[in-house]
Amino acid sequence: MDRHVVAKVADVQPGDRKLVTVKGRPIALFNLKGEFFAIGDKCPHEAGSLCSGRLVGLAEADVPGEYRLSRSGEFIKCPWHGWEFDIRTGQSWCDPTGTRVRAYDAKVEPGAELNKGPYVAETFKVTVEDDYVVINL
């Protein structure tokens, strides 16, 4: 697997997201309470940009008329037709068995193990203590 540095940890605070590109592929990077997840940016439906969507929770009901919301901020809703994707797994909630956004394996890596790449060229900092987010492709 190739490892690509795409962002600084500090640039993507808990609750934030960032659109990054790796080898021409747009990827939406999310920070969920300190954990990083990255999913393909193009919605499998009509290719709307998921990174432009709304962060939502999971609405559920067992019985008509009783509503509950859980996992707040862990789903991204496509800005177009509103398909909901579980950021942790890439799974779409509207058709759990049938549709999946490719979930990329995103890890936080200490600065010393950086690879060179476009992001590094842009934002490389002298302090190597900074943590970078690396995407495995």
Partner 1 sequence: MAMPNSIFGHPAIDCDVHIAVPNTAALMPYLDAYWYDAFRSRGIEKTSFTLTGDPPNTPLAARPDWRPKSGKPGSDLELLRSQALDGFGSSFAIANCLFGGMALHSEDLAAVMCKAVNDWVADTWLDKEPRLRASILVPQQSPELAVEEIERRAHDKRFVQITLLAMGNELLGRRSLWPIYEVAVRHNLPIGVHAGGLYHHPTLNGWGSFFLEDYVANAFAFENQVVSLVCEGAFAKFPDLKVVLIESGVTWLPASMWRLNKTWRGVRPEIPWVKQVPSELVRQHIRLTLQPFDEPEGSGRLERFVEQMQSDQLILFSTDFPHWHFDGKDALPLSPSSPLAPKILYQNALDTYPRLTETTSVPAFAPKEISP
Partner 2 sequence: MSIVTAERPKAQRPQRQKLSVVDCDIHPGFSTPDEIHPFLPERWREHVKTFGGHYRQAFADTLSHPRMAPEVSRADAWPPKGPPGSDLEFMRAQHLDANGVEYGMLMPLNRGPGNQRNLGYGAALATAVNDWQIAKWVTPEPRLRASIVVTQEDPEAAIAEIEKRAGDERFAQIMLPPRSLEPLGRKRYWPIYEAAVAAKRPLALHVGGINGYPATASGYPSYYIEEQHTNVQGMQQLVTSLVLEGVFERFPQLRVVLVEGGIAWMPALKWRLDKHYKRLKAEVPHLKRLPSEYIHDHIWLTTQPLDEPDKDSDLAETFELVGSDRIMFSTDYPHWDFDDPRFVLSKLTLSPEKQQAILAGNARALYGLK
Work out what residue 79 binds among partner 1, partner 2, none; the CB cut-off runs from 5 to 8 Å by kind.
Answer: partner 2
Of 24 and 65, nearer to partner 1 (C-beta) is 65
Burial class of residue 65 (count of CB atoms within 10 Å of its CB; 0-12, 13-18, 19+): exposed
Q: For residues 23 and 97, give the distance between their C-alpha atoms in angstroms, rounded to a whole number.
A: 29
| Least distance between partner 1 and beta carbon 97 (Å) | 10
Looking at residues 73 to 102 of the shown chain, list those that interact with partner 2 (rule: CB under 8 A). 77, 79-82, 95, 98-99
Is 85 a binder of partner 1 (CB under 8 A)?
no
Q: For residues 102 and 114, give the distance between their C-alpha atoms in angstroms, rounded to a whole number.
A: 24
Residue that has been written with the tokens 């432009």 in this structure: 52
| Least distance between partner 1 and beta carbon 98 (Å) | 9
Please state whether 115 falls in left (phi above 0), alpha (psi between -120 and 50) or beta.
beta
Is 25 a binder of partner 2 (CB under 8 A)?
no
Is 107 a binder of partner 1 (CB under 8 A)?
no
